[in-house]
Amino acid sequence: MRKTMLTVALLALAIAAPRSVLAQDADMPIATASSAETADSQRIREAVAYSYDLPKGAPSADYPFVAWCEALVRGHIALGETLTDADPLDAEIIRLGRLEATDFRSALDVARTRQASRVLTEAQAAAESATAQWGPLMALTDEPARAQAFGLFFGLPGRCEHAARRIRNDVTTPPATLEDAGLAPRAATAG
């Protein structure tokens, strides 16, 4: 009986899984969630991502922020490419970083014509600032120190992916707040 229930459960999962999850391209990010994310779940993830404080030096507007995110990823990739003894995990991190940077670049390219020249200037300055953060690490002649720095990069804020989606899709409404998404208690009303 247990074996039959397990078989039925696995069959149901296989049927319910989106085709994109079942036939993934080895050169693309590995899908770990349904590609058919509901609007509510996307709204919740976006609200959480936007609820965190921005890292020091990161711009608050979406377009410059995505440029900043792309530059951080490209800097991390460049640092990894300086390693002569990179292991398979390092190579995989570099490969995935390239995919992520390409995604950010495509969002920036799609949204570029909708940006004011002031925003484009802010984006360029943000990218230059993020790139400059990698300069001291790239200048290290001690490869083990560069390898350690490469391994200690903690990744990007979750807001990067949401900001990229927002600029790509020309979303101009403010992102949902935790309160909007039902994740924070609403303020008590007087009366």
Rounded to 5°, angle at Cα 104 from 85 and 74: 25
Residue 183 within a domain: no
For residue 40, is it within any domain?
Answer: no
Q: Which domain holds residue 159?
A: 59-173
Closest CA to 148 of 55, 101, 86: 86
Q: Which two tokens stand for residue 168?
A: 């790509």
| Those residues with Cβ within 8 angstroms of residue 154's Cβ, 6 or more apart along the chain or in another chain | none
Note whether residue 91 is domain-resident: yes
For residue 114, tell me if it sits in a domain: yes
**pLDDT score for 20:** 41
Residue 130 domain flag: yes
Residue 186, in any domain of the structure:
no
Look up residue 152 and give its two tokens: 């200690």
How many domains does the chain fold into? 1
Global pTM reads: 0.76
Does 28 reside within a domain? no
For the chain, which ranges sit under pLDDT 50?
A: 1-23
Q: What separation in angstroms does the CA of 164 have from each of 26, 41, 101, 147, 160? A: 23, 17, 11, 29, 6
6 in any annotated domain? no
